[in-house]
């Protein structure tokens, strides 16, 4: 399996600016096919990627694109979806309806099921029952791997132990991780737990909403208020870091995107950046073919430590 995957969050929640839904879906189909051709064989999605009348849209589109693949390519990719522990999903069978709905949208191609976030801070009993229910589905042979998301080191150990008692491995955890991710010390703790317990570390938002892809001399004004407020905070304070990325990219005949992703890889994580265009997929695929040097890693580590303004933490991240 490749050391870089991709995510489909934007497939469900956003349309490309200025394009019709049909044109947008065609762009996504081209992006998906380019990703597969580029060797990106791990795909992360979720049942909550798409709300309101777009409910489940990310999984639906992904299911259509997977179904059109030749069988040998379909077998070679891993599809990991996340199920959201909404308040009404309670009890040991709380995920059953959601799981089978995802299975249908994905046209029966689900390899890994992940708990989207931890409820340990407000309803730990709910999380325990949902985890047990996922184990039941796993034991029925309905999917082959279990993962979690947005869990800190303490809760990660708890889930691992609960699965281990049933003889089920915990395959992965995914958290926000990048050169600008919040709480770098906690990220180090999680990496240590993953290494100790043989859990795969998936890094979501490895490009910090695209900030790490912006050249140091370029200004970007996002269209949404939330992104604009984050960019206004981070763009001025990250110029030195982005200059470092730019210089390493130039020296390697690569892009800043590739450098930022390879920094994640150098820390033993699998980055899962989002893609929306074929050009994104092709650029990301090129990152698989090379690695940053130890000196380049050390420089970026230092620039990251010196970046005092960082991405906001996910409110669902547990301890």
Handedness of CA 14, 214, 265, 184 (dihedral sign): negative
Cβ-in-10-Å burial (0-12, 13-18, 19+) of 72 comes to exposed
**Helix 256-266, helix 239-251: angle, nearest 10:** 100
Annotation marks residue 138 as catalytic: no
* Size of the chain in residues: 319
Helix, strand, coil percentages for the chain (3-state, nearest 5): 50, 10, 40
293-301's contacts with Cβ under 8 Å and 24+ in sequence apart are 296/248, 296/259, 297/263, 297/266, 299/244, 299/248, 300/179, 300/241, 300/244, 300/245, 300/248, 300/259, 300/263
Q: Are 107 and 75 in contact (CB under 8 A)?
A: no
**Helix 225-237, helix 239-251: angle, nearest 10:** 80
Q: Active site residue: 49, 65, 138, 204, which one?
A: 49
Q: Are 47 and 56 in contact (CB under 8 A)?
A: yes
> Nearest to residue 235, comparing CAs of 217, 254, 255?
217
> Nearest to residue 56, comparing CAs of 67, 47, 43, 65?
47
Integer CA distances (angstroms), 305 to 7, 12, 170, 179, 298, in order: 27, 34, 31, 8, 11
Catalytic residues: 49
């Amino acid at each position: 399996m490749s050391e870089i995957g991709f995510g489909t969050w934007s497939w469900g929640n956003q349309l490309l600016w200025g394009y019709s839904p049909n044109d947008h879906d065609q762009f996504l189909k081209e992006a998906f096919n380019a990703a597969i051709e580029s060797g990106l064989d791990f795909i992360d999605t979720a049942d909550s990627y798409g709300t309101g009348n777009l409910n489940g849209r990310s999984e639906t589109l992904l299911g259509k694109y997977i179904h059109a693949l030749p069988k040998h390519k379909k077998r070679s990719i891993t599809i990991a979806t996340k199920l959201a522990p909404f308040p009404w999903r309670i009890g040991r069978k709380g995920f059953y309806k959601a799981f089978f709905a995802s299975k249908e949208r994905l046209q029966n191609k689900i390899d890994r099921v992940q708990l989207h976030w931890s409820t340990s801070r407000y309803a730990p009993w709910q999380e325990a029952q949902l985890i047990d229910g996922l184990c039941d589905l796993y034991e029925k042979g309905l999917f082959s791997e279990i993962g979690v998301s947005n869990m800190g080191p303490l809760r990660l150990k708890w889930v691992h132990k609960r699965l281990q008692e049933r003889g089920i491995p915990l395959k992965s955890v995914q958290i926000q991780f990048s050169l600008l991710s919040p709480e770098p010390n906690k990220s180090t703790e999680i990496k240590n737990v993953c290494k100790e317990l043989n859990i795969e570390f998936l890094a979501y938002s490895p490009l910090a909403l695209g900030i790490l892809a912006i050249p140091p001399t370029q200004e970007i004004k996002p269209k949404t208020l939330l992104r604009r407020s984050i960019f206004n905070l981070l763009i001025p304070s990250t110029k030195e870091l982005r200059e470092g990325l730019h210089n390493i990219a130039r020296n390697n005949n690569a892009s800043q995107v590739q450098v930022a992703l390879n920094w994640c890889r150098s820390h033993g994580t699998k980055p899962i950046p989002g893609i929306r265009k074929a050009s994104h997929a092709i650029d990301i695929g090129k990152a698989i073919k090379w690695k940053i040097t130890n000196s380049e890693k050390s420089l970026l580590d230092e620039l990251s430590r010196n970046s005092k303004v960082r991405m906001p933490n996910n409110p669902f991240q547990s301890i």
